[in-house]
Structure formats: structure tokens, C-alpha cells
């Protein structure tokens, strides 16, 4: 629920449950005796379970009619499935969801195991394939925005929870059980079986016309009735399972599936013609011959993410309805034959991060000999209709591969995640969040790549910038390229031409939207900024990490420090020459030394390996104080908020939380 630490909540007393209910509703109810009596009866039905109290409160907070609440009370009392309080309250909240989209999104989440980090983009792709949202939106990106909106609404009702993984959500174990019960028992449309232990699973013709089936940790190799009799089946998901080729062919024959998803599954081939299939997901799979995918004439979403695919089948070019192609983290993918990508005229989203990067130079494609296998070129990506392309995530090993006479992106509305550097330049990051903001990763000589118009375009519209092993970075940072929208900046192992982050911009506003700044291993960095910037500069910075900057004598000037009212985390380590964190160097006549520098939101301060540190802010030391190194005290010290107030000498005139 947004807390920084999880606590176990015991059963509530009647009084505590009543207080929690009123707090959830948002106002006291004593003024209306009738409504108050019904509300107390509602909380009593929750059996002291905090989750039920909050869930019911959220479901009823926007409608304070006593008749509505009385009806809700009757519904709660009518259910007898244990545990009654949880089941009835969660089902009530489900039934009060405003529309079928919300209900469908909620039920899709129960396809995954209890406690699973559910990728929201799976929900997008499943919902699109089933027509839950695709009929209302003309692009996958628009549908994605809608699904994220639905997930937020479900979180507000506590039907879904936050996940520690980017781009994911979670479902509480109790809610998961109730969701399966609602879908399978009450609606007769879902079958979710988790065999936890990888057991052989025998499928018999169903007695119910399921629309959705999810099988986790099962083994299927027995003869199966053709089509399983599932005439209404629209979605089939197999996770962590094993299915023989003959069983798969028999199982799928005659089905009218719209969504077929295999996750962590071994597949030798897929030979069944599924004319109605719109979404095919083969994520994390061990794959054999998959050339038959080219016959799926209505396929719109195709994902091989994290699979062992080595060659993209030429038959993929026949998928004229394809809107999304995903080969993210397919590290074995070395061949994409020339001519496939350029034929996907309806493609809206192309994901190839940490995947294929052996782009063939355009001139070599033109000069290739007959019969010679040619690889895809960036010119093919550029040939995709710009009016359709809304998301592009690719890796380019050398910026010189970018065609000189064409532009990579023609419109600023296209979302992008582009790395322009040699493979393995950047350490392996977290799995790709498909809701990423515009991101660029660069390495090399900035003097060279700043001559390229595509790179200048990408820098201008980036929201996250990562530089590693980059020379002459001042050419970027002091260029006229606007960084007004930049939210994250990371510079690592830059060895030449990065004396300052900002120079010669006195009186200007810089990095207004920046939230995260990481400076690591910049051997010639002398200062973050030269000159006094406008008050708004760095005003939204939340996290600052500085490490292994051997020439840096202070973290930031006082002109910047005064703007850091949003700063929550400050980490400085292995900066041997650093003497102070805040400095008024060069601004002694402009800065009032008696005023404080405040960090009202700071929750983490980590100073480590700064053996020459004299003070946090030397200019504000008491006159009687004698400067001395803090090496022994701070060399390995991690300081938390309550400790800061006791460091009177070192933190004089610095205001921290509390």
C-alpha cells in the first residue's frame, strides 16, 4: 500500500475496524445514524480482517446511500465460502467495479501463480488478443496506456498491489484465491491449475465451456482428444510446463484460440494452423522449428522474449497484420535475414534490446553478391511507415551504421530505448520495463557522435541518458541540445573532457526535471557546475550518487545545494580529494554565509571512503572551530536521519529532516 516497510497486522478489534472503515471512507459517519448502523454491521462482517475492511470501504466510499450499503450488507451475509469475510468482501469489491474492462483485467491476473510479479505488458498483450481493449483503441500503445490505467484503479481498490519489479504488479494470495473462485466457480469460464511439483497431467473433455485455461508446472504427453472439446477457448497459457509435439498438435487442433502463451516451456515445433490467433507469446522458451508461425495470418503480437531463438524465420515476413514483434534479451539471436522487417508494414512496436545487433551497413547490402546471406540493415527499420511506428527498442553497435541520408525517427511521439555502443559496454540491467521512458545509452567519442543528426534528435527527446566510457562529454553537456525533460542521467568511466557537468551557463536554468544523477569513475571531474544557476536548477533531484571521482573536492556548490529540497538519497564514496559536500567556492561575495542549506526530505546519507573530508559545509563552521579531517569517523560511516542532528560540528548550518 505504498509503505516503505511491511508489518504484520493482527486481527482488529471492533473499535479498530470501525476506525479503519471510517478512515477509508474519508469522513466520520456519526451524523447519519442509519448509515452508521449499517456501516458497523458491515465492519462486523469482516471478522477483524484489515484487508476486508479496507476493501469494502474502497468499494463503498463513492456512494453513501443507505439503500446501497444495506444491499452490500445483504450480499456479504449471503456468501458462505470460507474464509467468509475475505471472500465476500473481495467479491463485493469485484462486483462493484465500474466496467467489464476492469473486471477482465482483474481476472487475467489470476492466471499467474500466487505471489507472482505479473508483467503488465502480459495483460496488455492478452487483453489485446482477446479483443477486450483492441476493439476500442487503434494502437497497442494506446491500449497499453489503458491497461496501466486499469491497474492503477485496481490498486486503489486493493485488488492489486505494487511490485518491487518495474513494469509489474502483484495480487495478494487471498485475493488470488478469491479471483480464481469467482472466475472458475461462479462464471464457469476460467480453469487455473497449478501442479506445484511438475506432475503428469491428463486432459479430458471438459464439462464446462471454458474461455480461458492456465496450466502451471504440468507435463502433457498423453493422447488427447482432438481440440479437447474446448470450443469456446480463447486463451491458453502454459507456464513451466512440458508438452510433447504430438500432444500439442492434438491439443490445439480445431481450437479457435485468440491468445496462446508458453512461458518457460520446451517446444520442438508448432505445426497447428490457428487462423484466429492474434497473440502468440513464446517467452523464456526452448524452441525448435517455428517457421510455421508465418501461416498465422491474423497474428498481431509475436514475442520470443528471452527465448533461445537463433534465427528469425523468413516466414515472419508473411505476417502482414503484425503490430508488435519482441525479441528482447534473445542473446542467441544472430540472424535476421534481410527483407523481413521492411515487409512488416503495419508494425507499431519493435523490441530488440540486448538481442540482434549485427546490422548490415547499407552499402554492403547494395554490393552483396547473389546467393549471399544478407542480414537486416537499419535502413529496413527506417523504411517502416512512421505513422505506425510508436515504440522502438534496438541496439546499434556503432553510430556509423546509421544511414546518413535518412532519419531514424521522424516524429517525437515515438517512444524509444536505443543503445549505441559495443555489446556488453553496459552491465546487465534489470529486465526491460515495456513502459520505459525515452532512453539512450551511448559510448565512444562525443566529438564524433554529436555530428550525427539522429543522435542529436535522440538526446533532445530523451528522458534517461546513460554514458559509459565516453570521451569529450563536454561536447554533449555544453551543447545547445535541450535537457529540459531529462529525468535520469548516469555518467560512468568517462576519462577525458568531462571537467564539469555544466559550465559557462551562469544565470541559466539547468536540469529542471532531473530526478536521478549518477557520476561514477570520472577521473577529470572538478565540479558539477561552474557559475551560479537559476534557483529552479536541479530542483526535482531525488537521488545523487558520486563515486570514484578522484579530482572532485566538493559535491555541489551552495547555489545548487539550496535547490535540493526534494533530495532523498545522497551517496558519496571513494572520492579521495573531497573536502566538503557543499561549497561556496567562487561565490564568497554572493552567498550569505549565515543562512542554512536545507535537505528536508533526505532519508539516506552515505559517506564512505572520503578520508580528506573536512566538513559538510566549511563556510558555515563556527569561527572557533578548527578544521580537521573526518577520515576516521566517516570512512565507512552510513548516517541516518536521527544521527545527523548530533553531528553539530560537521553539519553546522545544515538542516536535515526532524
Beta-carbon count within 10 A of 54 CB:
20
CATH number at residue 23: 1.10.8
Total count of domains within the chain: 2
Give yes or no: residues 89 and 104 share one domain.
no
As a dihedral over the C-alpha atoms of residue 609, residue 614, residue 620, residue 623, rounded to 10 degrees, the angle is: 160
Give yes or no: residues 146 and 160 share one domain.
yes
The answer to the question of residue 648 being in a domain is: no
At 84, is the pLDDT very low, low, confident or very high (cuts 50, 70, 90)? Answer: low
Give yes or no: residues 42 and 7 share one domain.
yes
- Can you give the residue range of the structural domain that contains 8? 1-96
Position 526 scores a pLDDT of 86
Give yes or no: residues 133 and 74 share one domain.
no
The answer to the question of residue 234 being in a domain is: no
Give yes or no: residues 5 and 59 share one domain.
yes
- Residues 635-650 have pLDDT tens digits of 333 443 333 444 444 4
Q: Which residue has the cell 532519419?
A: 407
* This prediction's pTM: 0.83
At 592, is the pLDDT very low, low, confident or very high (cuts 50, 70, 90)? Answer: low
At 208, is the pLDDT very low, low, confident or very high (cuts 50, 70, 90)? Answer: low
The answer to the question of residue 516 being in a domain is: no
End-to-end C-alpha distance for the chain, whole angstroms: 24
Give yes or no: residues 92 and 112 share one domain.
no
- Residues 453-466 have pLDDT tens digits of 888 889 989 999 99
Q: Mean pLDDT, to the nearest integer, of 93-122?
A: 91
Position 415 scores a pLDDT of 93
Give yes or no: residues 107 and 133 share one domain.
yes
Question: Which has more pLDDT, 455 or 62?
Answer: 455
At 80, is the pLDDT very low, low, confident or very high (cuts 50, 70, 90)? Answer: very low
The answer to the question of residue 263 being in a domain is: no
Give yes or no: residues 107 and 78 share one domain.
no
Name the burial class of residue 259, with classes exposed (0-12), middle (13-18) and buried (19+) by CB atoms within 10 angstroms of its CB: buried
CATH number at residue 169: 1.10.10
Range in 217-221, 324-328, 439-443 with the lowest mean pLDDT: 217-221
3-state secondary structure 485-511: CCCEEEEECCCCCCCEEECCCCCCCCC
pLDDT above 90 covers a percentage of the chain that reads 33
Residue 374 has pLDDT above 60, yes or no: yes
The grid coordinates of residue 313 equal: 524465420
Residues 6+ apart with CB under 8 A from 297: 275, 318, 319, 320, 321
Give yes or no: residues 125 and 162 share one domain.
yes
Give yes or no: residues 2 and 90 share one domain.
yes
Question: Which has more pLDDT, 184 or 123?
Answer: 123
Q: Which residue has the cell 474502497?
A: 58
Position 273 scores a pLDDT of 77
Between CA 364 and CA 380 the distance in angstroms is 14
Q: What is the mean pLDDT of the chain?
A: 81
pLDDT above 70 covers a percentage of the chain that reads 80
Domain end call among 96, 114, 134 = 96
Q: Mean pLDDT, to the nearest integer, of 478-487?
A: 77
The grid coordinates of residue 235 equal: 486463451
The answer to the question of residue 346 being in a domain is: no
Between CA 157 and CA 169 the distance in angstroms is 14
Between CA 478 and CA 476 the distance in angstroms is 6
At 186, is the pLDDT very low, low, confident or very high (cuts 50, 70, 90)? Answer: low
Position 643 scores a pLDDT of 34
DSSP structure string for 530-549:
SSPPPTTTTTT--EEEEES-
Position 231 scores a pLDDT of 74
The answer to the question of residue 577 being in a domain is: no
Give yes or no: residues 13 and 92 share one domain.
yes
Domain end call among 175, 208, 236 = 175
- Residues 607-628 have pLDDT tens digits of 888 888 888 876 555 544 444 4
Q: Mean pLDDT, to the nearest integer, of 75-104?
A: 76
Greatest alpha-carbon pair distance for the chain in Å reads 91
Domain end call among 132, 148, 175 = 175
- Cβ distance 566 to 599 under 8 Å? no
Which uninterrupted H or E stretch holds 93?
helix 84-95
Between CA 406 and CA 396 the distance in angstroms is 16
Residue 1 has pLDDT above 70, yes or no: no
Give yes or no: residues 37 and 103 share one domain.
no
E strands present in 285-430: 286-289, 301-303, 324-326, 349-351, 391-396, 415-420
Question: Which has more pLDDT, 84 or 294?
Answer: 294
Residues 6+ apart with CB under 8 A from 114: 171, 173, 176, 177, 194
Position 589 scores a pLDDT of 53
The answer to the question of residue 191 being in a domain is: no
Between CA 271 and CA 247 the distance in angstroms is 12
Q: Which residue has the cell 477483524?
A: 48
Distances (CA, A) of 547 to 486, 520, 521, 632: 21, 5, 6, 19
Question: Which has more pLDDT, 480 or 25?
Answer: 25
Between CA 648 and CA 390 the distance in angstroms is 54
The answer to the question of residue 412 being in a domain is: no
Amino acid at each position: 500500500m505504498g509503505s516503505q516497510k511491511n508489518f504484520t497486522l493482527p486481527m482488529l478489534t471492533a473499535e479498530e475496524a470501525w476506525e479503519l472503515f471510517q478512515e477509508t471512507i474519508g469522513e466520520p459517519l456519526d451524523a447519519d445514524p442509519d448509515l452508521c448502523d449499517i456501516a458497523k454491521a458491515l465492519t462486523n462482517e469482516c471478522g477483524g480482517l484489515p484487508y476486508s475492511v479496507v476493501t469494502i470501504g474502497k468499494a463503498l466510499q463513492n456512494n453513501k446511500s443507505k439503500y446501497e450499503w444495506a444491499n452490500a450488507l445483504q450480499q456479504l451475509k449471503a456468501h458462505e465460502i470460507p474464509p467468509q469475510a475475505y471472500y465476500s468482501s473481495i467479491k463485493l469489491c469485484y462486483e462493484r467495479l465500474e466496467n467489464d474492462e476492469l473486471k477482465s483485467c482483474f481476472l487475467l491476473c489470476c492466471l499467474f501463480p500466487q505471489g507472482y510479479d505479473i508483467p503488465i505488458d502480459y495483460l496488455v498483450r492478452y487483453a489485446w488478443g482477446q479483443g477486450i481493449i483492441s476493439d476500442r483503441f487503434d494502437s497497442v500503445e494506446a491500449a497499453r496506456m489503458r491497461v496501466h490505467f486499469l491497474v492503477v484503479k485496481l490498486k486503489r481498490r486493493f485488488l492489486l498491489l505494487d511490485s518491487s519489479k518495474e513494469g509489474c504488479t502483484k495480487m495478494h494470495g487471498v485475493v488470488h484465491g478469491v479471483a480464481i473462485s469467482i472466475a472458475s466457480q461462479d462464471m464457469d469460464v476460467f480453469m487455473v491449475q497449478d501442479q506445484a511439483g511438475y506432475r503428469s497431467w491428463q486432459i479430458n473433455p471438459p464439462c464446462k465451456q471454458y474461455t480461458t485455461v492456465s496450466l502451471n508446472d504440468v507435463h502433457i504427453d498423453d493422447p488427447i482428444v482432438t481440440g479437447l472439446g474446448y470450443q469456446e477457448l480463447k486463451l491458453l497459457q502454459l507456464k513451466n510446463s512440458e508438452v510433447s509435439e504430438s500432444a500439442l498438435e492434438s491439443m490445439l487442433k480445431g481450437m479457435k484460440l485468440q491468445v496462446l502463451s508458453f512461458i518457460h516451456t520446451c517446444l520442438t515445433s508448432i505445426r497447428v494452423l490457428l487462423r484466429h490467433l492474434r497473440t502468440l507469446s513464446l517467452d523464456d522458451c526452448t524452441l525448435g522449428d517455428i517457421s510455421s508461425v508465418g501461416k498465422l495470418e491474423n497474428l498481431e503480437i509475436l514475442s520470443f522474449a528471452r527465448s533461445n531463438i537463433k534465427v528469425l524465420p523468413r516466414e515472419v515476413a508473411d505476417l502482414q497484420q503484425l503490430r508488435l514483434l519482441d525479441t528482447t534479451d534473445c542473446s542467441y539471436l544472430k540472424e535476421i535475414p534481410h527483407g523481413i522487417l521492411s515487409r512488416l508494414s503495419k508494425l507499431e512496436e519493435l523490441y530488440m534490446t540486448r538481442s540482434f545487433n549485427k546490422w548490415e551497413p547499407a552499402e554492403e547490402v547494395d554490393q552483396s553478391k547473389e546467393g549471399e546471406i544478407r542480414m537486416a540493415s537499419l535502413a529496413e527499420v527506417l523504411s517502416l511507415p512512421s505513422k505506425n511506428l510508436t515504440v522502438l527498442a534496438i541496439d546499434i553497435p556503432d553510430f556509423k551504421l546509421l544511414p546518413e541520408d535518412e532519419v531514424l525517427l521522424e516524429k517525437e511521439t515515438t517512444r524509444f530505448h536505443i543503445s549505441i555502443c559495443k555489446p556488453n559496454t553496459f552491465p546487465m540491467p534489470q529486465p526491460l520495463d515495456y513502459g520505459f521512458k525515452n532512453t539512450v545509452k551511448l559510448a565512444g567519442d562525443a566529438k564524433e557522435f554529436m555530428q550525427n543528426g539522429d543522435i542529436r534528435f535522440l538526446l533532445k527527446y530523451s528522458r534517461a541518458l546513460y554514458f559509459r566510457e565516453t570521451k569529450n562529454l563536454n561536447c554533449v553537456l555544453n551543447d545547445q541540445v535541450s535537457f529540459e525533460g531529462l529525468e535520469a542521467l548516469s555518467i560512468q568511466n568517462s576519462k577525458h573532457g568531462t571537467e564539469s557537468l555544466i559550465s559557462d551557463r551562469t544565470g541559466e536554468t539547468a536540469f529542471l526535471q532531473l530526478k536521478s544523477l549518477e557520476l561514477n569513475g570520472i577521473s577529470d571531474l572538478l565540479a558539477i557546475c561552474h557559475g551560479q544557476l537559476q534557483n529552479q536548477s536541479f530542483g526535482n533531484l531525488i537521488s545523487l550518487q558520486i563515486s570514484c571521482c578522484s579530482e572532485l573536492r566538493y559535491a555541489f556548490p551552495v547555489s545548487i545545494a539550496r535547490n535540493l529540497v526534494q533530495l532523498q538519497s545522497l551517496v558519496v564514496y571513494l572520492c579521495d580529494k573531497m573536502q566538503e559536500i557543499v561549497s561556496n567556492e567562487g561565490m564568497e561575495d554572493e552567498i550569505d554565509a549565515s543562512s542554512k542549506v536545507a535537505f528536508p526530505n533526505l532519508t539516506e546519507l552515505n559517506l564512505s571512503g572520503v578520508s580528506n573530508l573536512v566538513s559538510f559545509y566549511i563556510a558555515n563552521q563556527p569561527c572557533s572551530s578548527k578544521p580537521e579531517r573526518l577520515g576516521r569517523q566517516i570512512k565507512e560511516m552510513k548516517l541516518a536521519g536521527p544521527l545527523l542532528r548530533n553531528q553539530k560540528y560537521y553539519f553546522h548550518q545544515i538542516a536535515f529532516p526532524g
